[in-house]
Chain A
Amino acid sequence: KQEVTQIPAALSVPEGENLVLNCSFTDSAIYNLQWFRQDPGKGLTSLLLIQSSQREQTSGRLNASLDKSSGRSTLYIAASQPGDSATYLCAVLETSGSRLTFGEGTQLTVNP
């Protein structure tokens, strides 16, 4: 059974700092990995999607990497801003089915 772990569970940083969120998964047979952002009381917003054949994806200040063989992904946020405060969720889509398996998320707070 696929398990997804996100470290740290919570992170508090001052504005302007660069930061890295970590995601690991136990079964490397995946189609893709997706990073989401969730604001309190809201749904999920897709940030980046990395196909299994790709190593990284970038969007603005966000960069996500994927090392499928070691079961790891990182989300790098450059020059963090208070508006980046949210919970960040990592999810993998397995080749054996059509379900996303999520981690429990990293709650990020960026202090002005």
Chain B
Amino acid sequence: GAGVSQTPSNKVTEKGKYVELRCDPISGHTALYWYRQSLGQGPEFLIYFQGTGAADDSGLPNDRFFAVRPEGSVSTLKIQRTERGDSAVYLCASSLRDDYGYTFGSGTRLTVV
């Protein structure tokens, strides 16, 4: 596609529920990244995919967070047993290569109530 697409744009869920956030990168971009942005702060790295594999998942805060990219294009960020502290904007970005400029999606605003 023309840009990075993220769905849903907004998600409200109850504490303890499971959520999935989807990212559709720019066609042909092999590198895909997930970031999390809390109010008033810069985005923080979560995980980086090169193709289908997670090349760096050191930013995932705990084992409730997991991400997949089974066919090397669309990626899903999965959060189990959500907590109120997980509320943030989750941003996805893709890049032609890992030392190139990034293109970000519009993000998914997750609110855990």
B12 interfacial contact with A, CB 8 Å:
no
A100 interfacial contact with B, CB 8 Å:
yes
On whether the beta carbons of A46 and B33 are closer than 8 Å, the reply is no
Please provide the chain B residues from 85 to 111 with a CB less than 8 Å away from any CB of chain A in the complex.
Answer: 91, 93, 98-99, 101-107, 109
Categorize the interface residue count of chain B.
Answer: 20 to 34
Given known A99-B33, A101-B45, contact A43–B98 (CB-CB < 8 A): no
Q: Which of A61-69, A74-82, A90-98 contacts B (4 or more CB under 8 A)?
A: A90-98
Given known A97-B56, A98-B56, A99-B56, contact A46–B41 (CB-CB < 8 A): no
**Docked CA distance A99–B31 (Å):** 11
Q: Is the interface of A mostly helix, strand, loop or mixed?
A: strand
**Docked CA distance A36–B103 (Å):** 10
Q: Give the shortest distance, in Å, between A107 (CB) and chain B (any CB).
A: 9
Chain A contacts for B109, CB-based, 8 A:
41
A19 interfacial contact with B, CB 8 Å:
no
Chain B contacts for A31, CB-based, 8 A:
99
On whether the beta carbons of A43 and B45 are closer than 8 Å, the reply is no
Q: Give the shortest distance, in Å, between B109 (CB) and chain A (any CB).
A: 8
On whether the beta carbons of A89 and B42 are closer than 8 Å, the reply is yes
5 cross-chain CB contacts under 8 A: A31-B99, A32-B99, A100-B43, A100-B102, A104-B41
